[in-house]
Structure 1
Amino acid sequence: METVDRIDETAREMWERTLGCDVADDTNFFEFGGDSISAILLMSEINAALGTSLSPHELFDAPDFGAFRELLQAHTGAATETLQEEAAVPAGTSVTSLFQQRWFGLSKEQLGNVDVFFEVTGPLDHALFGTALDHLCRRHAVLRSVYEPGDPPLQRTVEDFRPRPRIQDLQGLAEAEVQTAVHAAVERSVRFFDLESEVPFELELLTLSPTEHLIVGHLHHIAVDGWSIALLIDDLERVYHALERGEDPATLEPAPQYADFAVRQRAYAAGSGIEEAREHWRSVFAGVGGPTQLRATVPPSGAPGESSAYVNLLLAPERADAVRAYAAAGRVTVYNVLLSAFARLLAEVSGTDDLLIGTSTAGRQGGDDDRRIGVFITPMPLRLSLAGADTPERLHALVSERMRDFARHRMYPMADLLESVEPFKGKQLADLFALHFIYQNQPQPSTGNGRTYRQLDFQDAGLERPHALPRPHSRVLRQLEAVVFDRLDGALSLNFAFDPSRFDETEVRGWLDAFGAEVDRLVHHTPTTRG
């Protein structure tokens, strides 16, 4: 359950961000620069973050932060109590979030494994490492849970779960033997979890020398997203260092629990505040004909989507740096630049300039959510009407506007589109979009206490399959999925995962080359300053 301190912290952060000043209990919203428009935006953000359904008019009744804080606490407590009563959650379990519920369903189709592949430089004791993993899982209930079917599914913490990492000492072996062992560890991570009976947490430690190690393994998206992997590694080091000093990790600051977010999101979905988001998305998707499709280039030969294939293109560090410099000069993100280039490519290939594709959005609300291990990333349909975006600046502005939409409604569950918003009503989740764009920032190396952790790409270990792409023989959910991520050497890895029963690899390779060319065309355009 959300604590009073968490509610106060969240509200204060949002007030300070809106007003641009420090906020005390006697700070009057309207005397410090707030107006009716900013009140509407603030209430929308708070309702999304805390699962409340406050009206902007209530801010006029309680304009001082202290009075507003008391009002907010009352509303938040009522929403949480109502949700818990309706859910009738058995002891030892908690409700799953809507994001987890989606992944629980997809796990039945053997989807959702998350690769873990880190290089550790520095001393690492095998026994302490195993003990640190044990404490890590105790600190984060989501890392030691299984899941029970239901509506909603429930998360059950396995109190006696103990991770048992496979530890291999490869020191002194020939290079070929080391590579064989590393490849075997990576391939073991292809195994899928049964989330009803198995805690989805398997890691291995491979020691190459006294100061060179690899952490290899896999988890599941029902428990973590990409951001969470970096949090997990940071907390693992925090726990390990405490053990190294002879201290009890139980004395460390408690970790925020994902179950609190799940309750908050369920309260939001059950409250009246979700209707505002529905109306917004109804207006965004009004008149769109349906998901953008690409013409199949392979004659039908059976059931599609039974295996995946991919093609890869590397933008060398100098080309990648040019993309970053262009984005910085134009005051947009690298994600914006890459998505803009992908949209231009799709408009050319599909023959339509009113695109409906998918992308991944973040549901974290700031504050404790930025330290909370769990799944917050969810795919959402994205509409980009390129008819009025006839210059790079206008296209980037359109993409930025859509990203602000996602930020304002980040708690909104994709599944609600199937019940409430055209043209998605009555469809399946897999039918929301056929084309998907993902950009994964490579986490910065985590350094401290004489150790450095760097997330590796599988290609860094001589494996053919790039990190984060569909696993061999895994089912394809989309016709085409663009996955772009930063490599440690500064390059950008551009990848198209596709359904080989629908598209010829030579054709997809041509599209990928055209995508790279679109990126270059944008980069060589001289941007003007954009807001």
Structure 2
Amino acid sequence: MTERVPLSYPQHRLWLMERLRPQAPTFNVPLGVWLEGPFDVRGLGYALQETVRRHESLRTVIESDGGGEPAQVVQPPVPTEPDVLDLRGSSGDLDALALRHATEYARRPFRLDAPPLLRVLAVRVADDRHLLVIVAHHIVSDGWSTGLLVAELARHYTAHHSGTPEPQPSAPAQYRDFATWQRALVGTELAGQLAFWRRYLDGAPRELELPTDRPRPPVQGFRGRLHRFALPTEVARGARHTASALGATPHMLALTAFAGTLARYSGVFDLVIGTPVANRPHPDFEELIGYCGNLLATRVDLTGAPTFAEAVLRTRRSVLSTLEHQDVPFELLVEELGAGRDPSRHPLFQCLMVTQDFLPRSAVFGAARARYVELDNETSKADLYLTLDWHGGHPHGSVQYDSDLFDPVTVAAVTEQFLAVLGEGCREPGRRLAHLATARSSVHAEGPPPASP
């Protein structure tokens, strides 16, 4: 009989949400990888099969017993092949056509009880140009896992390409080990951390009412769009310089600027913003593919009209304190605080921000070099989800947004406001945050932004 393993806390919450919207693309985790150079799809098949063999999570399905209680069930390794689409005989803009096919592929739903929960598509645009599309269900993967998956596919492919493929042993830790560790931790060691979160979030607003283009539906629809933008080089350079001077990180500066932007539109100056973290506290879990990530409710205090530098230092203290208590699963915190009862919005916070640093910077598939592209599967789990990538010669970002609430022009204006606040704050950290970029704050309302209390 196949062993049944209990779900981790994040898996269980995802399973419950999936039951409300079965076979929807809401929890698909897609990534596009442009490959420049000669590429062999047969080598990709070898790399995919070897990766799936090594990681149980990529062979896992979620099944319910007679009483409806879900469990992980690992399937035995079977031959695994990528899907292939050849566009070389097509007309028009082949890159745009490849991206359209990639978006459609990213939106194809999974069934949690039917393997596989990972699929890969190779789109051939030219003999030396391919678009690799990797899509996993969130219940078996997360952002950190996506980076591991790309790196491992590249490693196995390159070994095959060089004629030296050698089957590797299974990964030293499997996802069942993480789930078992987390369940045991919750049962014995988290009382002190839970007490911290109760104090930390006491009195914090759980709902952030931004001015929207349409009324909020009574039930969150998870429909969304992706707004991409360039992160100006001077802003990225200024953020690194100012962060170093303040003993902070560019993420902390950007989180402060994002909070300042949200405060400007909402009139709320004590905010809670979601911050995803990899949540791999032990070395054994660092190379683990699976849904380990956690969400931290980061409180940003902008009351009292602080300068940008003062606000960054507050944010720094807040971020560091939450990282010290990150073992508490977000799902358990929501349950403890009774915050998951409103079906119209994400619990505890409606806006999130993450600095993307999980993708390998120089992945090479044999003689082909990789360049990443974020795919829009037209879903959103929150009102606004800001992602920043500071690395490389072209820093960039995106905002995934709830399209039931916001129009594209609104999100573009909010993004411009965020970049202006961040840029001016880095140039003049001694100015009051509420006075930065005031000429750009005209979305939804006329006149200056509300003054900080």
In structure 2, C-alpha distance between the alignment counterparts of 1:117 and 1:289, rounded to whole Å: 37
Instruction: Indicate the larger mover: 134-143 or 158-167.
Output: 158-167
Q: What are the Cα deviations for residues 378-397 of structure 1, in whole angstroms up to 9, with x where unaligned?
A: 32322222225712233222
Check whether the contact 1:118–1:453 (CA below 8 A) recurs between aligned residues: no
2:136 is aligned with 1:233: no
In structure 2, C-alpha distance between the alignment counterparts of 1:93 and 1:451, rounded to whole Å: 42
Check whether the contact 1:418–1:426 (CA below 8 A) recurs between aligned residues: no
Partner of 1:23: none
Partner of 2:175: 258
1:368-383 pair list within 5 angstroms? 368-383=284-299
Q: How many Å apart are 1:130 and its aligned residue?
A: 0.9
1:400-479 pair list within 5 angstroms? 400-421=316-337, 424=339, 430-441=346-357, 443-447=359-363, 450-451=366-367, 453-457=369-373, 467=374, 471-472=377-378, 474=379, 476-479=380-383
Check whether the contact 1:118–1:215 (CA below 8 A) recurs between aligned residues: yes
2:127 is aligned with 1:221: no
In structure 2, C-alpha distance between the alignment counterparts of 1:186 and 1:386, rounded to whole Å: 39
Q: How many Å apart are 1:160 and its aligned residue?
A: 4.4
2:214 is aligned, of 287, 298, 321, to: 298
In structure 2, C-alpha distance between the alignment counterparts of 1:168 and 1:306, rounded to whole Å: 29
Unaligned segments of structure 1, at least 5 residues: 1-89, 458-466
Q: How many Å apart are 1:339 and its aligned residue?
A: 0.7
Unaligned segments of structure 2, at least 5 residues: 431-453
1:259-274 pair list within 5 angstroms? 259-271=176-188, 273-274=189-190
1:491 is aligned, of 381, 392, 395, to: 395
Which amino acid letter does the alignment assign opposite residue 510 of structure 1? Answer: A
Q: How many Å apart are 1:116 and its aligned residue?
A: 2.2
Partner of 2:9: 98
Q: How many Å apart are 1:170 and its aligned residue?
A: 4.9
Q: TM (normalized to structure 1)? A: 0.71
Which amino acid letter does the alignment assign opposite residue 279 of structure 2? Answer: G
Q: How many Å apart are 1:327 and its aligned residue?
A: 2.6
Which amino acid letter does the alignment assign opposite residue 112 of structure 1? Answer: F
Distance verdict in 2 for CA 1:334–1:301, change over 3 Å: closer
Instruction: Indicate the larger mover: 179-188 or 157-166.
Output: 179-188
Which amino acid letter does the alignment assign opposite residue 285 of structure 1? Answer: L
Partner of 2:103: 186
Q: How many Å apart are 1:324 and its aligned residue?
A: 2.9
Check whether the contact 1:165–1:205 (CA below 8 A) recurs between aligned residues: yes
Percent of aligned pairs with the same amino acid? 25
1:524 is aligned, of 427, 430, 434, to: 427
| Bigger-Rg structure (1/2) | 1
Instruction: Indicate the larger mover: 95-104 or 278-287.
Output: 95-104
2:249 is aligned, of 323, 333, 354, to: 333
SS of the aligned residue for 1:199 comes to: coil
Q: How many Å apart are 1:100 and its aligned residue?
A: 1.9
In structure 1, C-alpha distance between the alignment counterparts of 2:365 and 2:215, rounded to whole Å: 58
Distance verdict in 2 for CA 1:499–1:126, change over 3 Å: closer
Distance verdict in 2 for CA 1:254–1:433, change over 3 Å: closer
In structure 2, C-alpha distance between the alignment counterparts of 1:116 and 1:226, rounded to whole Å: 10
Distance verdict in 2 for CA 1:181–1:391, change over 3 Å: closer
Partner of 1:280: 196
Which amino acid letter does the alignment assign opposite residue 483 of structure 1? Answer: T
Which amino acid letter does the alignment assign opposite residue 40 of structure 2? Answer: D
SS of the aligned residue for 2:359 comes to: coil
Check whether the contact 1:123–1:451 (CA below 8 A) recurs between aligned residues: yes
Partner of 2:444: none
Distance verdict in 2 for CA 1:246–1:331, change over 3 Å: same
Q: How many Å apart are 1:233 and its aligned residue?
A: 1.9
2:231 is aligned with 1:315: yes
1:112 is aligned, of 18, 22, 27, to: 27
Q: How many Å apart are 1:245 and its aligned residue?
A: 5.6
Q: How many Å apart are 1:508 and its aligned residue?
A: 3.9
Q: What are the Cα deviations for residues 110-160 of structure 1, in whole angstroms up to 9, with x where unaligned?
A: 221011211234543332321221111010010111112368631111114
SS of the aligned residue for 2:140 comes to: coil
